[in-house]
Amino acid sequence: MTTSSPTVTTGAFPASRKIHVSGSRHKDIRVPMREIELHPSAGEQPLTVYDTSGPYSDPAVETDIARGLTPLRRNWILARGDVEPYEGRSVQPADNGFVSADRLTPAFPDLRRPLRAKAGRAVTQLAYARAGIVTPEMEFVAIRETQRRAAASQETRDGEDFGASIPGDITPEFVRDEIARGRAIIPANVNHPESEPMIIGRNFLVKVNANMGTSAVTSSMAEEVDKMVWAIRWGADTVMDLSTGRNIHNTREWIVRNSPVPIGTVPIYQALEKVGGVAEELTWEVYRDTLIEQAEQGVDYFTIHAGLRLHMVPLTVDRVTGIVSRGGSIIAKWCLHHHRESFLYERFEEICDICRAYDVSFSLGDGLRPGSIADANDAAQFAELETLGELTKIAWAKDCQVMIEGPGHVAMHKIKENMDKQIECCDEAPFYTLGPLTTDIAPGYDHITSGIGAAMIGWFGCAMLCYVTPKEHLGLPDRDDVKTGVITYKIAAHAADLAKGLPGAQARDDALSRARFEFRWEDQFNLSLDPDTARDFHDQTLPKDAHKVA
């Protein structure tokens, strides 16, 4: 069912078919979902589940990574009349890490001219929302979050939402309002029309990000693209491309063109490569050029560590693990060397102007996040968070969409303080955390140490959880590690959805529990997050057929 190179992983999930739900305001909207069929003895309708996997799991669609996905948002973007195509910057040797010609990965065959806002226009979902416009993207996510469940009036609400504003029905107007308030974002670069819109905010389903890194030298673009395809197959809502080194410009193009989920990056990584890896030599000009390069390619959100200010660096000297964020280390080194505020902080308004012209969302980075239980919730971490709150307001003033990154390593009793402080400092801008890991003593199992913290902070209000794989701290994740990380985080996100009392969240638990109680084994497998593993584990010890029918 799942094959890897030379093509990417495709195929339907067992007993599942892709369906598309149409919009009512915007008739050309087709929101993908997955319907899981149950055994006739169940006497139940098929269960509809949220589907991040894109056309790759739809046998009716033939994908070709050299063509890229259908640019489903292209017409919506152009119809707004506020963008224009332009020549764009030309690819430079530095963009691909000065790789020699014989080792250069091929350029994506069909490069579109990039789009950019017309002079003076803000083309962000936030700007539209504030103007009272319900975009097709907004209606899309309203339908997507609803997952075809019946009107909320039928439902028993059950949960503790800690002051969230979770509605009974998710209407396009509610989505617009949440975005207008800055409480949710739809990462949707105008140059990534292939993306299926998704929303990140505390009043919606908790989302999961998976990180990936491309190989510096690779024989097959399919292998690189498949890293993304594999992660979204198991449920990643966004993918961050954290590549460094060579060929990253060209490889990124292949990934974005083939990605149905938003792609995030940390642009300082590529900028650093362009200056030979020497942090002190970074300049605003190189960084700015990198932002534009990536914005033109269609990157949907940028991690920007603009909250790390010079005076905060000394706050880390007594830490057990200093500064563990890669971006944070780079900026801290630069600030100390030049003894001045970083260009990220000083030029923040100019960065906003760039993001506003493409609708690149901010993921304001936590460069001073704790790297150990010992360092959690310390003065350095919270000083930066306060600055991130200030920057949030600046970005909002510029009509830019913003989310805030959070830790990291935090014992359970200190997790809620992170969430509460983030809400307070950042006025409910979506929080996006890495774990947090709740203990440091289990390298090899940090998907679990962090899955505990992720479930809890998701419950408390965190909008997106950045996955951690079993290889965290030890090495590079392979395909199995990525799957394990994604599934663990889908568990955390779903446990959070249940605890928050998101309407309809329990439908899948209930369907699976009924199947379990009635010994409908096939239904149990098919309804689970990972049908392959469930079936395999069952078959390892129990008779093949006898236990599988109702």
Paired tokens of 247: 């060929």
Cα 380 from Cα 372, distance rounded (Å): 13
Return d(Cα 219, Cα 367) in angstroms, integer: 34
Q: Given the complex with its own copies, which of 73 and 233 has the nearer CB atom?
A: 233
Q: What are phi and psi of 253, to 5 degrees?
A: -60, -45
| Main-chain dihedrals φ then ψ at residue 33, nearest 5 degrees | -145, 170
Contact region for its own copies (CB under 8 A) — 275-283, 308-316, 387-395, 540-548?
Answer: 540-548
Give me 49's structure tokens.
Answer: 């589940």
Contacts of 339 (CB under 8 A, 6+ apart): 310
Place of tokens 């009107």: 151
In the bound state with its own copies, the residue whose beta carbon lies nearer, of 388 and 512, is 512
CA dihedral 521, 502, 198, 118 (to 10 degrees): 170
From the list 11, 442, 479, 550, which residue makes contact with its own copies (rule: CB under 8 A)? 442
Name which of 57 and 528 has its Cβ closer to its own copies. Answer: 528
475 binds its own copies (CB under 8 A): yes
Structure tokens at 297: 């390619």
Whether the CB-CB separation of 504 and 149 falls below 8 Å is answered with: yes
Identified binder of its own copies from the candidate list 109, 157, 513, 519, rule CB under 8 A = 513
Stretch in the footprint of its own copies (CB under 8 A) among 187-195, 315-323, 332-340, 349-357: 315-323
For residue 545, give both structure tokens. Answer: 């057929």
Q: Are 462 and 202 in contact (CB under 8 A)?
A: yes
Task: Decide: is 443 part of the binding site for its own copies (CB under 8 A).
Answer: yes
Choosing from 54, 193, 501, 504, the residue that interacts with its own copies (CB under 8 A) is 501
Minimum distance, C-beta of residue 388 to its own copies, in the bound complex (Å): 24
For position 107 contacting its own copies by CB under 8 A, the verdict is no
String marking each residue 391-420 x if it binds its own copies according to CB under 8 A? ------------------x-xxx-------
Q: At what angle do helices 248-257 and 221-233 cross, to 10 degrees?
A: 50
Distance CA 269, CA 277 (A): 9
Query: Shortest approach of its own copies to residue 130 CB, angstroms?
Result: 34
CB of 410 to its own copies, least distance (A): 10
| Minimum CB distance to its own copies, residue 172 (Å) | 28
Q: Is 312 in the site for its own copies (CB under 8 A)?
A: no
Nearer to its own copies, 191 or 528 (CB): 528
83 beta partners: 117
Query: Binding pattern to its own copies, positions 342-381, x when CB under 8 A?
Result: -----------------------------xxxx-------
**Cα–Cα distance, 319 to 376 (Å, whole number):** 10
- Examine residue 438 and tell whether it contacts its own copies (CB under 8 A): yes
Rg (C-alpha) for the chain, rounded Å, is 22
Stretch that binds its own copies, among 123-131, 197-205, 332-340, 531-539 (CB under 8 A): 531-539
Asked if residue 159 binds its own copies (CB under 8 A), the reply is yes
- Cα 28 from chain centre: 25
Cα of 284 vs its chain's centroid, Å: 26
CA 129 to chain centre: 21
Is position 508 an interface residue for its own copies (rule: CB under 8 A)?
yes
Phi and psi based region of residue 88 (left: phi greater than 0; alpha: psi -120 to 50; beta: remaining): left
Q: Which of residues 137-156 bind its own copies (CB under 8 A)?
A: none
Residue 512 in the binding site for its own copies (CB under 8 A): yes
Segment interacting with its own copies (CB under 8 A) among 128-136, 252-260, 290-298, 512-520: 512-520
160 binds its own copies (CB under 8 A): yes
**What DSSP element (H or E) covers 263?**
strand 263-265
CB 265 within 8 A of CB 300: no
**Least distance to its own copies from the beta carbon of 221, Å?**
22
The yes or no reply on residue 541 touching its own copies (CB under 8 A) is yes
The residue among 111 and 412 lying less far from its own copies, judged by its C-beta, is 412
> What's the closest the beta carbon of residue 445 comes to its own copies, in angstroms?
6
Closer Cβ to its own copies, 174 or 525, answer by number: 525
The number of residues making up the chain comes to 550
Cα dihedral value 404, 409, 414, 418, nearest 10: 0
Among 38, 164, 400, 527, which residue sits at the site for its own copies (rule: CB under 8 A)?
527
Binder among 494, 502, 520, 523 for its own copies (CB under 8 A): 494
Size of the site for its own copies (CB under 8 A): 72
Q: Between residue 177 and residue 236, which ones bind its own copies under the rule CB under 8 A?
A: none
Residue (275 or 411) nearer to its own copies, CB: 411
Judged by CB under 8 A, does residue 270 bind its own copies?
A: no
First to last CA, the chain: 25
Report the C-alpha dihedral over residues 45, 48, 53, 59, rounded to 10 degrees.
30
Of 344 and 492, the one with the shorter C-beta distance to its own copies is 492
- What does the alpha-carbon distance between residue 541 and residue 92 come to, in Å, rounded to a whole number? 57
Q: Which of 166, 272, 496, 502 binds its own copies (CB under 8 A)?
A: 496
Establish if 441 lies at the interface with its own copies (CB under 8 A).
yes
157 binds its own copies (CB under 8 A): no
User: Which stretch in 15-23, 224-232, 237-245, 523-531 sits in contact with its own copies by CB under 8 A?
Assistant: 523-531
